[in-house]
Amino acid sequence: MWKEIGDRERGILRPKSFTTRIKSNRIRTLQISNHKDIVSPHRASINSLQVDLTEGRYLLSGAADASAAVYDVQRATDYEGGGLIAKHKCLFVVDKQHEHGHKYAISSAIWYPVDTGLFITGSHDHHINVWDTNTTQVVMNFKMPGKVYRTAMSSLATTHMLIAAGTEDVQVRLCDIASGAFSHTLSGHRDGVMTVEWSTSSEWVLVTGGCDGAIRFWDIRRAGCFLVLDQSHSQLGRRPTIPEHSATNKALTSKSLSSGQNLNAKPRAQQRKLANGNGTKQSPVGRMPAKGSLRQRLHPGMLSSLDRATAHYGAVTGLKATEDGMYLLSAGSDSRLRLWDVESGCNTLVNFETVRLQAGKPIQLATSQDSALVFVPCMTAVKAFDVWSGNTSQTFRGHYEYVNSCWFSSQEQELYTGGNDKQILVWSPPRMKDLLRIGITGVIDICS
């Protein structure tokens, strides 16, 4: 460590590699924090955690007792144990007693990506609320046709302010904060949608995972999805090999004859604008004909609804895109974690040794910033897997019951996990002070 600082001083080590080295060393020594504690006011299981994307300072948690709370993770509210343990109490809490609060469990609580002035909560009472943080008032409300499982907003978006909502209804709805209405719906899934994630490389691409086991990529500017991930399409390695003959490659990776996916078609952007928050269902044109001959009646963008490829043998419970936008991790209720190459749409066949994953609820995965590690809640423990080899790098055991969500803060190299035991645990690298203190006492013991 000191040698590295010296090298950095002399200019032998680049600043970026210096920081990555320190960060990865710290990540490798993550353990349950002995100097930081988050006091959670929730009285039921914690379903969602997120640290804001602008400052990395405020942690938002949503729980099953319809309460959402915000904590400052950088500044402690008080200290215990002679100043050694920092206690972080919540800055405020909104729960059922609030006049416009949710009535049932909050399944997803996210920050407005631009600043921490707004946050959005989605709940099992079919509503999505947009809250003003400073006044803790609801400024906007969207009514969904079913329980809301996940909400997401794109952190890259500069031209739109859409909330993508995955509910138990088969259609994914996009809610617009600017106008207060639904912008459009995306149909194609055959069962409820448990996870939604925006792509980290394009502000127009949305990835959704459904209870039918399919993962679909949508470009919100046009109808239908442009990619459905199929677990039987696989590539051996990080990127597909350059084909010698393009024909043989097509035979291996092309879709079957009767699938309706049309990658080359350019459908006109048919956006169904609905007025004033009316979430009326619009059935797609020519829905799912039984015989193939009737396929011509479908709009080219809707052909993807015929594609029944599944990414998992059960429901897709968690999705996470890597920071560079090239790979996608998906967790399913078949207890498999899969890594997909987004560009080719293939399964990279990396095997993550998960014995069991939680099946009924959506789970939140987290990746470290350079995407070398993925943190997955596996029942009562959180496991960190190496993304490229699938080996378990670390196991974090501390929760008493199932873990639902985890969030990795790359600024502090800290991991926050929340579970059914109503606790939010902090996992951090040991402090320098502690290491030095152990070092000094060790030396004194030897000398005396």
Partner 1 sequence: MDKTSEEASSKGKKRQRDQQPTDPQTNQPHHQIFSLEDNLSFTDTLVALRMMRAQFPRIDKVSIQPFILRSQLYSSVKDRTQVDRELESLRREKVVRIFKLNTGQDDHAIMFLDDYLNQMENVVKRLEEKEGDQVFKWFRTHVIDSKLEPSIEHQELYTLLSLGGMVKDGHISLLINAGLLILKSVVLWSFSVLASYTRQLIDPNMYWFAIPNIGSVLKGLSQGRKEVLSFLNRRRYKEMMLASMEKKCLRFSPLDMRFHLRDLIGSGHLKTVQTSTGLLVRVSKD
The single residue among 23, 160, 190, 272 that binds partner 1, judged by CB under 8 A, is 190
Query: Measured from the CB of residue 151, what is the shortest distance to partner 1 in angstroms?
Result: 24
Contact yes or no for 405/359 (Cβ under 8 A): no
Q: Which is nearer to partner 1, 121 or 231 (CB)?
A: 231
Q: Does 242 sit near partner 1 (CB under 8 A)?
A: no
Q: Does 289 sit near partner 1 (CB under 8 A)?
A: no
Taking CB under 8 A as the binding criterion, the range among 53-61, 112-120, 126-134, 372-380 that sits at the site for partner 1 is 372-380
> What is the size of the binding site for partner 1 (CB under 8 A)?
35
| The pair of three-digit structure tokens given for residue 393, joined into one six-digit string | 């790098």
Q: Which is nearer to partner 1, 125 or 191 (CB)?
A: 191
The single residue among 292, 400, 401, 440 that binds partner 1, judged by CB under 8 A, is 292
Count of Cβ atoms closer than 10 Å to residue 207 Cβ = 27
Q: Does 247 sit near partner 1 (CB under 8 A)?
A: no
Taking CB under 8 A as the binding criterion, the range among 119-127, 296-304, 347-355, 428-436 that sits at the site for partner 1 is 347-355
Longest dimension (CA), the chain: 90
Q: Does 228 sit near partner 1 (CB under 8 A)?
A: no
| The pair of three-digit structure tokens given for residue 244, joined into one six-digit string | 């010698």
Query: Measured from the CB of residue 191, what is the shortest distance to partner 1 in angstroms?
Result: 7
Q: Does 359 sit near partner 1 (CB under 8 A)?
A: yes
Q: Which is nearer to partner 1, 63 or 228 (CB)?
A: 228
> Which residues, 6+ apart, have CB-to-CB distance to 51 below 8 Å?
57, 58, 59, 60, 73, 407, 409, 416
Q: How far apart are the first and last CA of the chain?
A: 28
Contact yes or no for 220/184 (Cβ under 8 A): yes
Spell out the long-range contacts of 176-179 with Cβ–Cβ below 8 A and sequence spacing 24 or more. Answer: 177/112, 177/118, 177/130, 177/140
Q: Does 336 sit near partner 1 (CB under 8 A)?
A: yes
The single residue among 37, 52, 176, 334 that binds partner 1, judged by CB under 8 A, is 334
The single residue among 51, 350, 376, 384 that binds partner 1, judged by CB under 8 A, is 350
Q: Does 212 sit near partner 1 (CB under 8 A)?
A: yes
Binding mask 388-407 for partner 1 (x = CB under 8 A): -xx-----------------
The single residue among 56, 180, 314, 430 that binds partner 1, judged by CB under 8 A, is 314
Count of Cβ atoms closer than 10 Å to residue 432 Cβ = 9
Q: How far is CA 400 from the centre of its chain?
A: 23
Binding residues for partner 1 restricted to 101-160, rule: CB under 8 A: none
Q: Which residue has the tokens 């460590």?
A: 1
Query: Measured from the CB of residue 338, what is the shortest distance to partner 1 in angstroms?
Result: 10
Q: Does 308 sit near partner 1 (CB under 8 A)?
A: yes
Phi first, then psi: what are they for 97, rounded to 5°? -70, -20
Taking CB under 8 A as the binding criterion, the range among 28-36, 128-136, 355-363, 364-372 that sits at the site for partner 1 is 355-363
Distance separating alpha carbons of residues 200 and 157, to the nearest angstrom: 10
- Which residue in 374, 275, 380 sits closest to 319, CA to CA? 374
Q: Which is nearer to partner 1, 23 or 336 (CB)?
A: 336
- Which residue in 38, 56, 44, 50 sits closest to 427, CA to CA? 38
DSSP E strands in 187-266: the ranges are: 193-198, 205-210, 215-219, 225-228
Q: Which is nearer to partner 1, 256 or 282 (CB)?
A: 256
Q: Does 380 sit near partner 1 (CB under 8 A)?
A: yes
Distance separating alpha carbons of residues 323 and 385, to the nearest angstrom: 16
Q: Does 232 sit near partner 1 (CB under 8 A)?
A: yes
Q: Which is nearer to partner 1, 20 or 259 (CB)?
A: 259
Buried b (16+ CB within 10 A) or exposed e, 319-333: bbbbeeebbbbbbbb
Taking CB under 8 A as the binding criterion, the range among 102-110, 153-161, 312-320, 431-439 that sits at the site for partner 1 is 312-320
Distance separating alpha carbons of residues 296 and 288, to the nearest angstrom: 11
Query: Measured from the CB of residue 212, what is the shortest distance to partner 1 in angstroms?
Result: 5
Taking CB under 8 A as the binding criterion, the range among 19-27, 133-141, 197-205, 332-340 that sits at the site for partner 1 is 332-340
Distance separating alpha carbons of residues 89 and 40, to the nearest angstrom: 7
DSSP E strands in 82-234: the ranges are: 85-88, 90-94, 106-111, 118-123, 127-132, 137-143, 148-153, 162-167, 172-176, 182-186, 193-198, 205-210, 215-219, 225-228
Binding mask 419-448 for partner 1 (x = CB under 8 A): ------------------------------
Q: Which residues bind partner 1 (CB under 8 A)?
A: 190-191, 211-213, 232, 234, 236-237, 252, 256-259, 292, 308, 313-315, 333-336, 349-351, 353, 355-356, 359, 378-380, 389-390
